[in-house]
Structure formats: C-alpha cells, structure tokens
Amino acid sequence: FQAPTVGGGLNMAREIVIAPSILSADFAKLGAEVEAIDRDGCDWVHLDVMDGHFVPNITFGPDVVAALRPHSDKVFDTHLMIAPCDLYLEAFAKAGSDIITVHAEAGPHLDRSLQYIRSLGKKAGVSLTPSTPESAIEYVLDKLDLVLVMTVNPGFGGQTFIPAQLEKIRAIRKMIGERPIHLEVDGGVNVDTAGLVAEAGADALVAGSAVFKNGDYAKNIAAIREAAMAGVAA
Ligand code: DX5
Ligand code: ZN
C-alpha cells in the first residue's frame, strides 16, 4: 500500500495512482488481463463487486478476487457495491484485497464496517454515490484510509462523468487536510476529465473503459497519468 503524499494545499505535488477497473476487461481471460495492466504500468488493480441489489448489475465475488491474486503483486483495490456488506468483508480480506471500500449508502452502520475492515488488517475505504454529500464521512475520518468519490452512478462502466462532483472532491480534499487518506475518483475518468479531478484534489484515479479501449493499455494508462499530472501542476 502506497502512502499518499499529503502536504496541505490543493496543488501540492502529489503522486497520482492509476487504478484500472477490470469491469471493462475481457471476463473470459481475467487473469491475463490483470497481468497485462500490471505489466503496462498500473499502480493498483480496481475490482468492482456488484450484487444486483445495491446496484442494478452483477459482477463477481471473493472467489474471483482470490483466483486473480496470484496474477499480480499490485494493490488490490476492492470496491464493494453490495448491501449488506459486513457479512462478506472477511471473505474479501481473505481473498487478498489490500483496500476494501464500502458504500456509505449500503447500510446504517458505516463506522462499524470501517472498524471491521481494519480489524481484518486491511485498509478501509468509503465510497459516496453522486447524491451523497461529503458530510457522510465527517465523523469517521479517523477510521479511513481512502475516500472514493463516484463521478457516475455506480453499476456500469462507460458512463458520462458528472462535473458537479468536482466541488465535492475539493471539499473532501480540504476535510482530509494532513491525514494520510487517499482521495480516489471513479466513473467517466479519461484523458479529458483526469486533469479536472486531479486539480480538484484527487490522488487516485479509477478508469475502466478509458484503459481497456482499443488494446493499448500502456498507452492509455500513460495518457491518463499525464493528463492527471498536468491537472496537479495547474
Ligand atoms: C462503476 C464502477 C467503476 C467503473 C468505471 O460502478 O465502480 O469502477 O468500472 O468505469 P468507467 O471508467 O468506464 O466509467
Ligand atoms: Zn469502482
């Protein structure tokens, strides 16, 4: 787990983490796809878990995460779009997740879920859907390693970035202050939006379709990273 470079101001030099989402990979050869993004320069591997209940789509569970684990040593960034989540946290920890992120909207006891994730020895994240305000994390900041701002409504890859979320990203960057908490953004991140989210304060960018399109993952990852770094410097 790479500790975030924090240092106060919005525009301080920050390392940018690129986390391709395998939601846009070829599900018939997931192991090879994870190896490919690893080789092609990703920092983390983003794993989108959907239950057909919290979100209107179904992907994969802990057994698939465990099967992928031997294919890369990079950080496994597991984004749980499931409700309830507590029942499954141990399974995702045992499967080899490094970060486990739950949705603030997925249940009434976010604080408990976060404590549970840390008690399993994993980094704890909270994700906010576009309609959830940043105040949802105000009283759990000391139990957080990552905040994930959704810039689309969770459930599908390839959706259009929601610009109103930039204000939320800025507000959360301020709330984080000097704390060693990553600020990740997920949904519609591509070369056109990466700079905007980085400028607003994001230090970890998830990208699905923008990485897996047209087969040249190395080029796609590098282009997103370059666009993000231009935003940091802006
Ligand atoms: C959406 C997922 C995202 C998704 C992003 O619910 O959480 O991680 O894969 O896909 P793109 O980058 O195509 O918007
Ligand atoms: Zn995701």
Q: What is the mean pLDDT of the chain?
A: 95
Label residue 183 by pLDDT band (50, 70, 90): very high
What residues contact residue 39 under an 8 Å CB cut-off, 6+ apart?
218
What residues contact residue 29 under an 8 Å CB cut-off, 6+ apart?
none
Q: Can 48 be counted among the known catalytic residues?
A: yes
Residue 186 Cα to ligand 2 midpoint, Å, equals: 6
Label residue 87 by pLDDT band (50, 70, 90): very high
Atom in ligand 1 nearest the alpha carbon of residue 187: 14
Atom in ligand 1 nearest the alpha carbon of residue 189: 12
* pLDDT at 35 exceeding the cut of 90: yes
Q: Per-residue DSSP letters for 11-57?
A: TS----EEEEBGGGS-GGGHHHHHHHHHHTT-SEEEEEEEBSSSSS-
Read off the pLDDT of residues 100-114 as tens digits, 9 standing for 90 and up.
999 999 999 999 999
pLDDT of residue 167: 98
Mean pLDDT value of segment 154-180: 98
Ligand nearest the Cα of residue 187 is: 1
Q: Can 192 be counted among the known catalytic residues?
A: no
pLDDT of residue 13: 55
Residues with CB under 6 A from ligand 1: 21, 23-24, 46, 48, 79, 152, 154-155, 157-159, 186-189, 206-210
Pocket test for ligand 1, best of 55, 153, 159 (most atoms within 8 A of CB): 159
Q: Which residue has the tokens 């029942």?
A: 87
| CA separation for the pair 179, 2 (Å, rounded) | 14
For 9-18, 35-44, 92-101, which range has the lowest pLDDT when averaged over its residues? 9-18
* pLDDT at 187 exceeding the cut of 50: yes
pLDDT of residue 1: 60
Pocket test for ligand 1, best of 151, 156, 162 (most atoms within 8 A of CB): 156
* pLDDT at 151 exceeding the cut of 50: yes
pLDDT of residue 6: 42
Read off the pLDDT of residues 197-224 as tens digits, 9 standing for 90 and up.
999 999 999 999 999 999 999 999 999 9
Label residue 234 by pLDDT band (50, 70, 90): confident
Q: Which one of the listed residues 51, 145, 186, 203 is annotated catalytic?
A: 186
